Chain A
Amino acid sequence: NAGVTQTPKFQVLKTGQSMTLQCAQDMNHEYMSWYRQDPGMGLRLIHYSVGAGITDQGEVPNGYNVSRSTTEDFPLRLLSAAPSQTSVYFCASSSTRGQGQYGYTFGSGTRLTVV
């Protein structure tokens, strides 16, 4: 089925460990982004990409890296996990054709706990 696939769905990390959250979409969307969702804070933008080879920082980029080597994949790397990074992470993609007339398609989310 077409859509945005996030893996893993759940993860527990120890403080200081690193890991990569995977995100892949098969809709040929140019625009991809990562958000974190914390209670009472809505969704906050971590990093985003308007196309392969182009990435930029969002509202809360510290502690995270991204790359966009292909149109389909947009992995999010946690360099050295901290308890403050405990959150639900969503990857989303959208088409930029038609001047942004399409909303995001969201992945199912990754629930990350850092202990």
Chain B
Amino acid sequence: ELKVEQNPLFLSMQEGKNYTIYCNYSTTSDRLYWYRQDPGKSLESLFVLLSNGAVKQEGRLMASLDTKARLSTLHITAAVHDLSATYFCAVRNDRDDKIIFGKGTRLHILP
């Protein structure tokens, strides 16, 4: 059974700082997704990572995937208050096509 673990679950940081959110998963997969959710809202897709070594960047966010280590990272560079949100990673199980989410990382960026 696929398990997806994110850490930290809560992160409070100052504007201008860098930080990384980690997403570990338990079975083989080469499809990993990152989503953002603002309070009271739905989720929006940020990145789709499809192969080992994949790296994608959008503004101050950069996501990478290491399928051998079963690890993805979401790196935040020079954080700004607008990035405050909850970030979820999700992994597609190759065996049964289920897409399983982590518990989310609630990011609070202090101005």
Q: Indicate which residue in A31, A101, A104, A108 contacts B35 across the interface (CB closer than 8 Å).
A: A104
Chain B residues with CB under 8 A of A19: none
Main secondary structure of the interface of B (DSSP, over half): strand
Top 5 closest pairs, chain A to chain B, by CB: A103-B45, A42-B103, A43-B101, A106-B42, A106-B43
- Verify A90–B43 contact, CB threshold 8 A: yes
Chain B residues with CB under 8 A of A42: 88, 101-104
Chain B residues with CB under 8 A of A101: 48, 50
A75-93 contact mask (Cβ, 8 Å, vs B): 1 or 0? 0000000000000001010
State the interface size on chain A (CB cutoff 8 A): 27
Q: Indicate which residue in A45, A59, A99, A109 contacts B42 across the interface (CB closer than 8 Å).
A: A109
- Verify A48–B98 contact, CB threshold 8 A: yes
Residues of B at the A interface (CB closer than 8 Å) are 31, 33, 35, 42-48, 50, 88, 90, 92, 96-104
A74 interfacial by beta-carbon distance below 8 Å = no
With A59-B98, A59-B100 given, name 14 new contacts (CB 8 A).
Answer: A33-B99, A35-B101, A42-B101, A43-B43, A43-B90, A45-B98, A45-B100, A50-B97, A56-B96, A104-B33, A104-B43, A104-B90, A106-B43, A109-B42
- Verify A103–B104 contact, CB threshold 8 A: no
Chain A residues with CB under 8 A of B48: 100-103
Residues of A at the B interface (CB closer than 8 Å) are 31, 33, 35, 40-45, 48, 50, 56, 58-59, 90, 92, 99-109
Chain A residues with CB under 8 A of B102: 42
Q: Indicate which residue in B31, B42, B98 contacts A108 across the interface (CB closer than 8 Å).
A: B42
B22 to chain A, nearest CB (A): 15
B109 to chain A, nearest CB (A): 21
